Amino acid sequence: MPTYKAPLRDMRFLMNEVLDYPAHYARLANGAEATPEMVEAILEAAARWCEEVLAPLNLPGDQEGCHFNAGKVSTPAGFREAYRQFVDGGWQGLSFPVEYGGQGLPTSLSVFKAEMMGAANWSFSMYPGLSLGCINTLLRYASEAQRSQYLPALVSGEWTGTMCLTEPQCGTDLAQIRTQAEPQPDGSYRITGTKMFISAGDHDLAENIVHIVLARLPDAPAGTRGISLFVVPKFLVDADGSAGQRNAVSCGSIEHKMGIRASATAVLNFDAAVGHLIFEPNKGLEAMFTFMNTARIGIALQGIAHAEASFQGALSYARDRRSMRALSGKKEPDSIADALIWHPDVRRMLLTQKAIAEGGRAMIYAAAQTADLMFNAVLEDDRVAQAQYDNMLGFYTPILKGFLTEMGLEAANLGMQVFGGHGYIHEHGMEQIARDARIATLYEGTTGIQALDLLGRKVLIGSRGKCVRDFTRIMLRFAGPQLAARGSGGRMARSMTRHAIEWNLLTLRIMWRAAKDRDLVGSTSVDYLMYSGYVMMGHFWALQADQARQRLRSGQGAESADFYRAKIQTAEFYFDRLLPRADAHRTSALAPTRSLMQMDNGNFAFP
């Protein structure tokens, strides 16, 4: 049975030493309660619950899966009891407003909790995880009456939420949505249509499920401009706020999936179900992006969660499993063979996993600070600051979602490889991690969609390259004072300086060429995203290594000297072995589209 141990030492290092979360929280309007003592208590409690309750349910939950019978969905054994503990612990409301029953703490605290939940049991974490975007959408766009009606039960976790976008004939292309919303004399709407691939669309964990649904009004214009957003509960809400009569929403089936088998992915049928409009007519997609961006950052966490879980399993196995002798001579002469961890190629795989997990964690924790600042600007009604941080987060989001899920999948596959044939066997848990990780590059927008969003919407159209210039300015400001330094610190600083300049030049070259070649953005976008991800992760590894060097030089935390040395060594591995991949992506990004587009469609295959 695989085990999970929350990486609290690494989390504390990032929070307290690299990103200075205590000072960050002190500046926030809602950060007064987030004292170091309170944060530590939350981390410890979340870690204990994830290790002792969620992790033991992961493997058997995958083996059992969800059950569908006569329109009803039931979750695997132990999930209902675990979810009741989640609700009783107040975990859902950690970062939501006190007026709706939440604890009002900064958003980033929910990110730390979500990472541990995801690494321990991703399938379980999806049930409350989908509710977060539902809550955020209602908070931002719903009327006060709607917020009062739905948010208390959602914030407590007594109810869960979903987002219903995809239909059988369309996934990413939402212009093809056919679900209809017929207005009624009482101001409500009757929603009719079928939605599919709805994560946590039906289950037995909560007494009600609140669906956020995209649909068209009868007079709506064609395309995405004619999409509106509706709230449609599984059970209608009575005057006292409780779940009442069953709405005309039914689960037609659940999907039989490659992974995340303990998470119910449903086909939902809306048969003139009662719904209410959120926000303005025909502006549903604008409101839905609040939900989608929340979900995309959550999916970025999946990449890190699976990298961490796979690394922990692979490291334990590599220390215990003995096979052959090390090339440089016997390392364990009293044993029949040396442990796998002595072999250079196994170390390559383990260090790649470690670099991905810890580098990605730093990227997400830094983005979480930006999310805190954006919400703080909302609380202080500072619209200029809100727009600034929203733009920053919009730049981070496709990189985090696209790059980190691809890297998380690589880490999961490497975990299987370390185990060899045993990695292919269910009982060790490694093949489950790989199967679970595979979906992360697909849902909430494939890697290709994230890449188009980054290069097309955020870089070229949205900011004309300003978002890249802003981030590389941060890189250069950090690297500049260290350029002349000897040792790995100076080498990292010089590498980051070079990549910062190249990132801007690459952006300019693509911008210039895209004006003449309309296929260029589509052909180069994934390479551009991966280049951006490797360079951004390099910056955060340089930050971590610098902080570790400072701690070692000062003698602070002598008991953590091994931890700091490992940070520096992992950073050196990243710069030597992983960051060079960025150069290959840059070369591919600048390749002409001719080799992609010259072949006639009929020439791809010859029967």
Digit-coded pLDDT (tens) for 5-40: 999 999 999 999 999 999 999 999 999 999 999 999
Q: How far is CA 154 from CA 17, 67, 113, 158, 386, in A?
A: 35, 24, 18, 6, 25
Backbone angles phi, psi at 89, to 5 degrees: -80, -5
Q: How many helices (H) and strands (E) does the chain have?
A: 19, 11
Considering the chain, what percentage of its residues have pLDDT values greater than 90?
A: 82
Residues 553-558 have a mean pLDDT of: 81
Predicted confidence (pLDDT) per residue in 420-471, tens digit: 999 999 999 999 999 999 999 998 889 999 999 999 999 998 889 999 999 9
Backbone angles phi, psi at 445, to 5 degrees: 100, 120
C-alpha 65/C-alpha 57 separation (Å) is 11
Residue 291: pLDDT above 60?
no
Taking the CA atoms of residue 120, residue 125, residue 126 and residue 131 in that order, the dihedral angle to the nearest 10 degrees is: -160
Predicted confidence (pLDDT) per residue in 228-239, tens digit: 999 999 999 999
Residues 348-362 have a mean pLDDT of: 98
Token pair for residue 190? 């009757």
444 is annotated as an active-site residue: yes
Active site residue: 51, 52, 444, 572, which one? 444
pTM for this predicted structure: 0.96
Question: Residue 333: CB partners within 8 Å, gap ≥ 6?
Answer: none
C-alpha 347/C-alpha 324 separation (Å) is 15
